[in-house]
Structure 1
Amino acid sequence: MMRNLLTLLFPVLCLAQGTNYNFKEAELKARELVFTQPDSALVIIKKTLANSAGAHDTIKGNTYHLYGLYYNMKGMTDSAIYYYKKSLPYIDNYPKIILRPYINISASYRNKGEYETSLKYLNDALTVTKKDNNKTGEAMLYGEMASNYNYMRQYEKSVDLLLKAIAILKTEKKTKQLYAIKQKLANTYLGMENFNFAIDLYKECLPGFKEIGAEKNYYLTYINIGEAYIRLNNLQEAKKALKIAVDGLKKFDDKELIGITYSKIGNIENLERNRESALKNYKKSLDLLLEVKSLWTLRIAGEYIDILNQMGRYSEAQAIINKTAPFQKNTKLNMVDRVVYEKAIAETYSKTNDSKAISAYKNTITLMDSISSAEKEDAVKEIQAKFQTDLQREKNVVLAAKNNALTKAMKAEKKLLYLYIIMSISFIVLILLYLRSYLFKNKLQQEQIKAVESEKALLQQQHLHELELNNAQKEIIEEKERELTSTTLQMANYQDSITQILEKCDLGEITKVSELKKELQHLIKQKDYWRQFETRFNSIHPEFNQKLGNKFSKLTKNDLEFCSLLKLNLSNKEIASLLQISHESAITKKYRIKKKMQITDDDEFEKILSEI
């Protein structure tokens, strides 16, 4: 019935200042999705509220109302009422808009069985509607009031209000709204047991609901068609209608409606003597209704228990009674539903010789009296007479049970004693098994600890061995570096010797070619110390030149050789002597290399060389 409000929705009056969020488009999209894909609609609703700071009140009011519709589609009535009411303060001055939450609040209270509260909200809305001269709104409110009277079994009031609503909508030429009112009229005729006429009206509504996208109302109508066919004993058509309904309602996740539909399918299976299939459907139904604490729980539980009684499965029936017992305290339950439940549990108690049977029969008779005062007096009297006879029979059963109670008491006590002894022995055995398991586990843990400690000691020994090996390798490397440095300095001395020979030539100390030749031959006989240096350096630092060259591609071979000398921590003076250049040239060379490497800091330069 919520979808009947679609045509009453008005565009958002204005957009929020200072934001690019399109509230009008968001509302239209959420309104389109809430009846078919409620979870998708919820995403838009939350986004709208997150952007609603500074937005017009009607935007907030309409969005909270859509939030309520979302929870209604999910069958969460209390949450739906909360958000419907939250929308009211924002749209209090907009009579056409405020009509929607008023109607939905009343419908939610009606679903909770609070009919007077529902009518109060409808009367408040009717006052606003008449003041605004909104004839279409007035007709829709008459339809909602009729639904309340239909639930209250005041069918004449319901029909009068619906005919008044239909007359208004025809005058106003509001075709779409007529579908919802016709559905309510069909509901009334279903209650009045005019099943054929009800089916005809329901079938007239189906294309209309399809046309306006009111999918949930579309599937609700199929539930009612199924019920009408059941009452006409046309079980095949009933089953077809209910199958369409249950498949379609799953997308809305409305557990109450799905549960009701499963119960009707179970009823058909029972009428067709397919008892096991009937029980499966009733179990599905009751599980869903218990989950949402539905007002239908007792009625359907009564039908479920009745089938179990017919099959002689009284222990299962007793389990259902235990589950549903808390719902008996609900004072809002329909009298007829109470009768179905009380009659079923009375039968269970009588078959299990439970003294509660008398109380259950008394409750049933009291409920029959209440129904009798309202309607169907002759039929109820006949039922009452039957139950009076059953009541007397149950009293006799109770007296016989008391006579047998004393003889059974001793047997029960002996059984209980044996049970205690068995339980005590079992408990002792369990303790012994636990202690044995604990000791074994403790022993295993001790062995594991020893193994871990041994492994730890082995790892420590390996670690010490690795340290010793590393230290030895480090000492070897340092020794080789000392040898290399010594060789380097020797090479520098030979370079100095060549320089001295040249100086002697300049000073005239060597004048003869034979003397010069003798000096040079002496030097030629010596090894190529620079090549020797390079070979030894590469053996100590095999990847230094390659890594440095790869990392700094601008460095030349001479640059890399210069860096090799720096790697040995030679001073600028020593390098200058070795390379036969001035001290200033060595400094300049180092500066240019750092520039190529884009390094200005000496510490960073030395760190790079030492780490490679």
Structure 2
Amino acid sequence: MKSRYIIILFFLVFSSVYGAQQSQKPDYQYLKKKGNSLIEEGLLEEALLLNFDMVESAKKNNDTYIVSFGYVRMANILCAIGEHSESLRYLDLADGLIDKNKDFDLRIKLLSNYARNYAALKISNKSIEYYNKSIELCKTLPSEYHYFLPSLYINKGDAFLNTPYKLDSTLVYIHKSIKIRENAFKYAVVANYYLKEDRNIDSARTYLNKSKKLIEVNDLRVYHKSIVLQAEANYNKAIGNYLEAISLYEESVVISKSIKRLKNVKLVYKLISQAYSQLQDEDRSHEYLLKYVNLTDSLNTRYNENIGGVISDFLTEQESGYKKQEKKYSALIVTVVFLFVGCIIVIIYYYRKKKSIIIEEKEELINQKELESVKLKQQLNEAFEEVVNLAKANDPSFLIRFQEVYPTVCENLLKVNPKLVNTELIFCAMIWLNFSSKDIASFTHIQPRTVQTKKYRLRKKLNIPEDENIYVWIKRI
């Protein structure tokens, strides 16, 4: 009888513990939908933080699918805001967790996000390779997975813009996407390509008309509406209707601001500036150009101050946890490998004892090189501090000393544009040293607004892409 009561008691305790765990388990479907809603509203930082919590909770509940889903979604958001290095690191984490024989939806999203990052980094061949993998995977799966194909085709088409094939291949894949599922947004995208690449205004008008007809029939997502307005504005700008173009651009800006698509706002500011320039209204043109420059810097600062550190810390923590897990599962293999290596070492030592002198000499040489490396690093650190102090003092010898310490920076800049003058090289050197706009203004005794104007002119002279962070570009030169 006693044993029977013990069994019943054990069952009740187990049931209560299990029930408590189940009641604490979050509603992941709700969290996924909420994340989608935040992304739609442009609240990308909030979406990232939501995913942090979801991943941490899923790890405690041993839900590998939700953890890998969270990593892929964070990679997707980071790609959208231009943080491609961190995005790729999250994708690598997800790749180690996704069950390739079961989680096909995550596998497709993983491959397409690799492709998006490589396309944004202008590594077109790699991007197209990953799009091909994701498309081939979709085609081998049941029809329920084919809903990925339209977006994969349109994004693959965009990746071709940085290849020798350019517009022809781009349009082929956009039309493949339209054939599966047409909408006003896709026709507007086609119109934009015609306007941007070969100025085929008649073709652009044809596709804009198709876009308008579909808008009358079907509802359009808010973000897509802003793109359609941009395409219509670009068309009016191309045929000289600058006032109409500006009006449409401003409608697009209102929408983009409402969903916090600030990168779109930045682009449209530049387009409005160009339209006012065509109208010879230089004051308004300069006003929007300054808005464009200020928003570019603001986006970079906002990321660094508000979310950059959080993402970096969380990512480091995830990578650390993943590595610990890998070590745990591979402990036995490592032990066997060490035993095997130990046996080989003993055998080699026994049969090649005479060569021990050579080994010692090699070790001594390695130690010597390590000491030299330490000394070199110390010298470089001292030189760096000297250069920074010269810059802060606005010393005339700053540029000369900078070129002595970092000779390749100015050489490479002059290869891009041999007409750069010393003042521009000094400005580039300060950016390379990672001085903020405020610091540069303070050290060179100029206004912060002048610094922003200089940055914009420098972008023009060095042909730095609009979506490229000037600090990252110059650091990489």
- Whether the 8 Å contact between 1:339 and 1:367 is mirrored in structure 2 is yes
Cα distance in 2 between the residues matched to 1:324 and 1:120: 28
Q: 1:239 to 1:122 in 2, by over 3 A?
A: same
**Quick one: which of 317, 331, 348 aligns to 2:275?**
348
Query: 1:570 maps to which residue?
Result: none
- Whether the 8 Å contact between 2:43 and 2:259 is mirrored in structure 1 is no
Query: 2:172 maps to which residue?
Result: 240
Q: Are positions 1:365 and 2:293 aligned together? A: yes
Q: Are positions 1:334 and 2:259 aligned together? A: no
Q: Counterpart of 2:277 in 1: which secondary structure? A: helix
Deviation at 1:139, TM superposition (A): 1.2
- After superposition, the CA RMSD in angstroms is 3.8
Cα distance in 2 between the residues matched to 1:164 and 1:155: 14
Looking at CA atoms only, which structure, 1 or 2, has the larger radius of gyration?
Answer: 1
- Whether the 8 Å contact between 2:184 and 2:220 is mirrored in structure 1 is no
Paired residue type of 1:217: F
- Range moving further from structure 2, 232-241 or 146-155: 232-241
Query: 1:485 maps to which residue?
Result: none
Deviations 1:286-335 (A, max 9, x none): 88599646235556644543443333232432442464463365471233
Query: 1:263 maps to which residue?
Result: 188
- Whether the 8 Å contact between 1:162 and 1:185 is mirrored in structure 2 is yes
Deviations 1:45-95 (A, max 9, x none): xxxxxxxxxxxxxxxxxxxxxxxxxxxxxxxxxxxxxxxxxxxxxx98495
- Whether the 8 Å contact between 1:309 and 1:348 is mirrored in structure 2 is yes
- Range moving further from structure 2, 238-247 or 173-182: 173-182
Cα distance in 2 between the residues matched to 1:320 and 1:387: 27
Q: 1:321 to 1:267 in 2, by over 3 A?
A: closer
**Quick one: which of 77, 81, 96 aligns to 1:152?**
81
Deviations 1:385-406 (A, max 9, x none): 28999xxxxxxxxxxxxxxxxx
- Whether the 8 Å contact between 1:302 and 1:344 is mirrored in structure 2 is no
**Quick one: which of 107, 111, 130 aligns to 2:40?**
111
Query: 1:29 maps to which residue?
Result: none
Q: Are positions 1:228 and 2:159 aligned together? A: yes
- Specify every segment of 5 or more residues in structure 1 that has no aligned partner in the other structure, as ranges: 1-90, 251-257, 390-612
Q: How is 1:537-548 mapped onto 2 (pairs within 5 angstroms)?
A: none
Q: How is 1:194-209 mapped onto 2 (pairs within 5 angstroms)?
A: 194-209=123-138
Cα distance in 2 between the residues matched to 1:387 and 1:297: 30
**TM-score, with structure 1 as normaliser:** 0.41
Paired residue type of 2:267: V
Q: Counterpart of 2:244 in 1: which secondary structure? A: helix
**TM-score, with structure 2 as normaliser:** 0.52
Cα distance in 2 between the residues matched to 1:151 and 1:143: 13
Which structure is richer in relative contact order (CA contacts within 8 A, separation 6 or more)?
A: 2
Cα distance in 2 between the residues matched to 1:183 and 1:388: 32
- Whether the 8 Å contact between 1:305 and 1:345 is mirrored in structure 2 is no
Query: 1:384 maps to which residue?
Result: 456
Cα distance in 1 between the residues matched to 2:225 and 2:105: 34
- Specify every segment of 5 or more residues in structure 2 that has no aligned partner in the other structure, as ranges: 1-20, 305-427, 433-451, 462-477
Q: 1:143 to 1:326 in 2, by over 3 A?
A: closer
Query: 1:178 maps to which residue?
Result: 107
- Whether the 8 Å contact between 2:100 and 2:107 is mirrored in structure 1 is no
Cα distance in 2 between the residues matched to 1:266 and 1:185: 27
Q: Counterpart of 1:226 in 2: which secondary structure? A: helix
Q: Are positions 1:192 and 2:121 aligned together? A: yes
Query: 2:98 maps to which residue?
Result: 169
Cα distance in 2 between the residues matched to 1:366 and 1:171: 45
Cα distance in 1 between the residues matched to 2:110 and 2:459: 41
Tell me the number of residue pairs that the alignment of Structure 1 and Structure 2 aligns: 289
- Whether the 8 Å contact between 2:124 and 2:159 is mirrored in structure 1 is yes
Q: How is 1:76-155 mapped onto 2 (pairs within 5 angstroms)?
A: 93=23, 95=25, 98-155=27-84
Q: Counterpart of 2:96 in 1: which secondary structure? A: helix
- Range moving further from structure 2, 217-226 or 185-194: 185-194
Paired residue type of 2:194: E
Paired residue type of 2:89: D
Cα distance in 2 between the residues matched to 1:190 and 1:114: 24
Cα distance in 2 between the residues matched to 1:164 and 1:207: 23
- Whether the 8 Å contact between 2:184 and 2:228 is mirrored in structure 1 is no
